[in-house]
Structures are given as C-alpha cells and as structure tokens.
Amino acid sequence: MIEKLAVGAYCFKNDIAANGVVDTFEKIASTGIKAVELYNTCLAISAEEMKDLLGRLDLKIIASHILIPELENNLDGVIQYNKTVGNDDLVIPHYKYESEADVDRLVALVHKIAPKIKDSGMRLYFHNHAPEFQIRFGGKRVMDMIFERCADVGLLMENDLFWTQMGGENPVTYVLDHIEICPLLHLKDGIEGKDQRSFGNGAVDAATVIKIARSEKIKWAIFETDNPQPDALTYLYSCIENVKKLDSLC
C-alpha cells in the first residue's frame, strides 16, 4: 500500500509561497513519500528545472491540477510541461455552478480538450467538491451530469473522499460504484463543519478506503488537505503513520 501513496503539493502551498518549490520538495522527499501531485503554483519553475529536481530527490509527478484558464488558453504548454516532467494525468480541480449553463460550459470544455490530451498519451480527470453532489438541475446531480455527458471522451474521476462525504454521499460506496473510472483518490479526511484533519483522524472510513486502495484499479492514493494543521509536514507524517497502522490491521 505504501508504494501507492502520494501527496498533493497543494498541502504545501504556504511552504512553496514562503520558501519556494525546491526547499518544499526536499521536505516532502524527507518523509519517504516518492510521488507528488502538482498544482499550478508549482509551475513557477521550468519543466527542465522540475525534471532535474525530481531526479535529484527520487520523486515522481503522478498528476497535476490545472486551472481552467490554463486548459482553455495554454493547453499545448500544459501538455509539454507535464510530458517533460513525466506526468500523464491532468486534473480539472474545481468548477462553479450557478446554473445548468455552467455545467454545459464545463462539458463543452472537456469535449474540446480531451481529444488532444488523449492524442498526447495523457488522461483527463475531474476532481469533485461537495457542490457536485448537492446541486441539481432538472432533478439530476451535477456530478452525474458531468460524467454521463463526458463518458464518450473518457473523462476520469479523481474522487475526494472528504468532499464526497460532505456532499451527502458515502465515499466508500461511491468509489466502489465508480471504481472503473476512478484511478485516483484524494485521501482527505475530516468531520462535519469542514474541519479537515489528517487521513485516519476524521469521519471517513479510512480502514475500508485502505482496502479499496490496494485494488489494481486504484493507481494512486493522494494525501491532500486545504488547511494542514499544525503545518504541512506534520500533517503528512501523521497521515503516513495512520496508513501504516491501518495497513497492518486490514
């Protein structure tokens, strides 16, 4: 199980802002984690610099969260950067829905960019938050609308366990029901009231998630939180220790 663990660099956004990518990735590597999910701020260094850094630290990039404007206006650059650093998985990190027209725009964007991403030997994912489960148009949840309408272009799911639970779904059941299109898991945990915690210290059924993550259907299980407490490094060590304990018991 340990070899499938990764961490979202977004957890370390404050460290990256204060100390830069190099120092932050050195901290991540010191924990024994070998895989990182990028987000846009990480692209502040060039692809060649990132490639050299990864080689020096024995890290790999396993996915990258790409903001909508980059996907709309710089898709070629996004693809080139990620191919250079060895990553084939691009993730739409979030979207806002004020009307069904917003869902239409997201679906149109996916259909526009997915063919080029696929032709480049890459995969496109969507990362959920709670609203995709809470908002309905025409009686149908946004989450269902997105994946039903984008199935023809092979959109995959990066399921965020905490936000799925906050949206009113059982994340374990939901992932099992969609495991064929859900190779990436965000091991986010917490309790009601948006109080996020280290994975294994919240309300998510972490033990069952670990069993699911062992499946060959799951490529990576990614530690991720919006507000690590008391700091990102302590948060990451806590997550790792919790998974080791659960892994030995499951």
Give 75-89 pLDDT, tens digit per residue: 999 999 999 999 999
The pTM (predicted TM-score) of the whole model is 0.96
Range of the domain at 16: 2-249
Q: What is the pLDDT of residue 179?
A: 97
Q: Which residues contact 133 (CB under 8 A, 6 or more apart)?
A: 141, 142, 143, 164, 167, 168, 169
pLDDT tens readout for residues 200-211: 999 999 999 999
Residue 192's pLDDT band, with cuts at 50, 70 and 90, is confident
pLDDT digits (tens, 9 = 90+) for 138-184: 999 999 999 999 999 999 999 999 999 999 999 999 999 999 999 99
Amino acid letter for position 58: D
pLDDT digits (tens, 9 = 90+) for 92-123: 999 999 999 999 999 999 999 999 999 999 99
Residue 100, domain CATH:
3.20.20.150
Q: Which two tokens stand for residue 167?
A: 């949206």
- pLDDT tens digits along 212-249: 999 999 999 999 999 999 999 999 999 999 999 988 87
Phi, psi of 136 (to 5 degrees): -125, 145
The pLDDT of residue 248 is 81
The C-alpha atoms of residue 2 and residue 35 are separated, in whole angstroms, by: 11
- pLDDT above 70: residue 1: no
2 confidence band (pLDDT: 50, 70, 90) = confident
Domain total in the chain: 1
HEC per residue, the chain: CHHHEEEEHHHHHHHHHHHHHHHHHHHHHHCCCCEEEECHHHHHCCHHHHHHHHHHHCCEEEEEECCHHHHHHCHHHHHHHHHHCCCCEEEECCCCCCCHHHHHHHHHHHHHHHHHHHHCCCEEEEECCCHHHHCEECCEEHHHHHHHHCHHHCCEEEEEHHHHHHCCCCHHHHHHHCHHHCCEEEECEEECCCEEECCCCCCCCHHHHHHHHCCCCCCEEEECCCCCCCCHHHHHHHHHHHHHHHHHHC
pLDDT number for residue 53: 98
Q: What is the model's pLDDT at position 250?
A: 62
